[in-house]
Structure 1
């Protein structure tokens, strides 16, 4: 149990989550079952965390490297587990326009900027919800064991950066009984769990504090404040994905986000798509090996409002020693709600 907890702490951190009672929990679990039912022959990586860096190249070396340290978990010598369960790939259609991605994103930025400001009743705060999926994997001695960790996130944030974050982990999903037995042998949980953290003024989240800039250039610097220079343009796309999960963005801020994406080298139009929540969107991607293994990083945008609907990471050509089938979705985030609401008591 100690080893599993250490990995979850290093790769995990607390993010917003959803807990809405038995009826909503059942709905989320049905949605997850639908997502996973089509194709369970891919996936593996660390769980996403605020400004985390999971170095995919470490998989080839049999070690998970995090923030300058490393954790290696041994696995008993036994037959290699089957390929890990992951969601089915989304079905992408042709791009909405023959325009380059940079041009199309600027048009969507204009759409975003033209939207009305959302109403804000007195005494309310930023309230966000999302459904997320991550694959936890451990590698040692050429062996890999994995558990799908579906999560529901929910957060509330006040203007003075006080707030609450809640994360609910649903029961892990395994591709094989071998993985399940190994996971349980380590002491890993197999049921639901819920974690709540409250933050005093100025303590909410460790990044993205204060007003989100409405100028793309200023936003670019703001996203990386207090960090070293990013190793590749894809870092900004990842930062935007993190931002959309914890901050309510007004029309001008959404426009700045899309303009920033338009300026990223290597951004391409991946096509039109129905996201995992059943919403129509346009997808834009960067393919990069900046974190080790070649992967495609994708954001999905609502063409009617310029709102970010989702984010995905997918291994494209090789998985190193991860027990996945290529191509493999290794992370997704589905942004379900961004509104003003009362702070929970």
Structure 2
């Protein structure tokens, strides 16, 4: 097997595609601290998103870097596997009703559609905040060294698709000091970093520009505009999850997104759950090996408003060459803020 084939095998299941209640600054800080504290309590080495674009470059060994978050992999030739800890699995309780997922999601879509439109003071723009978790791995023959990279995303978008995106990488966490040293030796980052991207009119967040459709069929086409047709239905679930992290969805738009999910073949009810920010929701999943490794892709919905609270990916039966123990959470996103606010200065 050559290096490129090995990269494809390793990353087969890790190419996922791609609003939360309002809270004040104090609450936001508490939620972020809780999420990061939970991760450290779960272990010290782990990994997701909003769509991960993988860039491959061949330079003797093969290097793979994820643009905008995701999985970064470098192939070397060296020792044996050590297993990275991943976040504690969420605990799912009994479903809220005995209805199948398609029926329940349509009911939640109806709830969303009935919500009042969010107030919008003059001079404000779409403002969103989320916490995201990514596993970055360096693979050396039979050995993998992993770093958990928590990220905080903040964005501001104007009506003409200008705006700002701020992505802050918090200090990576490692399974051991030895992993940290090896990671640093291979050129990996071990400090916090922040990237600020300002967009001119018409350039904000490629693919999600303009008004979000309020009809499920129109939304399906809008999500894939300019791109190829998805290879599997799970792609639409991933797209909807990514959308919720970068666009403020009003009630009709949330209803369209939930109706789109209801129409996806293979979607099931996972159960009721308390998410990683301490909020109660209902979870719906698609389990598939469409991206390579068998994985469960889950969205969490708040039942009283039809708001998307979060998204997770879990490897279910095999991890390939990744140093995680199955089942393993390999991605999560928590949507913490979705509101109209004054643009940053």
User: Could you tell me the TM-score, scaled by structure 2's length?
Assistant: 0.85
Aligned-pair CA distance for 1:207: 1.0
The count of corresponding residues between Structure 1 and Structure 2 is 316
Aligned-pair CA distance for 1:41: 8.6
Matched, 1:40 2:43: yes
Q: Distance in 2 between matches of 1:318 and 1:185?
A: 29
Aligned-pair CA distance for 1:50: 3.5
> Which residue matches 1:281?
281
Aligned-pair CA distance for 1:192: 1.0
Q: Distance in 2 between matches of 1:22 and 1:126?
A: 20
Q: Once superposed, which parts of structure 1, at least 4 consecutive aligned residues long, lie more than 6 Å away?
A: 20-27
CA offsets 1:121-149 (integer angstroms, 9 cap, x no match): 01110000001111011223122111000
1:232/1:165 Cα in 2 relative to 1: closer, same or farther (>3 Å)? same
> Which residue matches 1:164?
164
> Which residue matches 1:139?
139
1:175/1:49 Cα in 2 relative to 1: closer, same or farther (>3 Å)? same
Q: Distance in 2 between matches of 1:242 and 1:215?
A: 18
CA RMSD, 1 decimal: 2.8
1:192-231 aligned within 5 A: 192-231=192-231
Matched, 1:52 2:56: no
Aligned-pair CA distance for 1:52: 3.1
Aligned-pair CA distance for 1:40: 3.0
Structure with more strand by fraction: 2
Aligned-pair CA distance for 1:157: 0.1
What secondary structure, in the 3-state scheme, does the structure 2 residue paired with 1:180 have?
A: helix
Contact 2:54 2:64 in 1 (8 A): no
What secondary structure, in the 3-state scheme, does the structure 2 residue paired with 1:190 have?
A: coil
What secondary structure, in the 3-state scheme, does the structure 2 residue paired with 1:73 have?
A: strand
What secondary structure, in the 3-state scheme, does the structure 1 residue paired with 2:173 have?
A: coil
1:23/1:262 Cα in 2 relative to 1: closer, same or farther (>3 Å)? closer
Q: Distance in 2 between matches of 1:215 and 1:179?
A: 48
User: Could you tell me the TM-score, scaled by structure 1's length?
Assistant: 0.85
Q: Distance in 2 between matches of 1:199 and 1:180?
A: 35
Contact 1:285 1:298 in 2 (8 A): yes
What secondary structure, in the 3-state scheme, does the structure 2 residue paired with 1:99 have?
A: coil
1:337/1:24 Cα in 2 relative to 1: closer, same or farther (>3 Å)? closer
Q: Distance in 2 between matches of 1:344 and 1:234?
A: 35
Contact 2:101 2:262 in 1 (8 A): yes
Contact 2:73 2:137 in 1 (8 A): no
> Which residue matches 2:298?
298
1:1-345 aligned within 5 A: 28-37=32-41, 39-40=42-43, 43=46, 47-50=48-51, 52=53, 73-75=74-76, 77-80=78-81, 82-345=82-345
CA offsets 1:129-183 (integer angstroms, 9 cap, x no match): 0011110112231221110000000000000000000011110001122321111
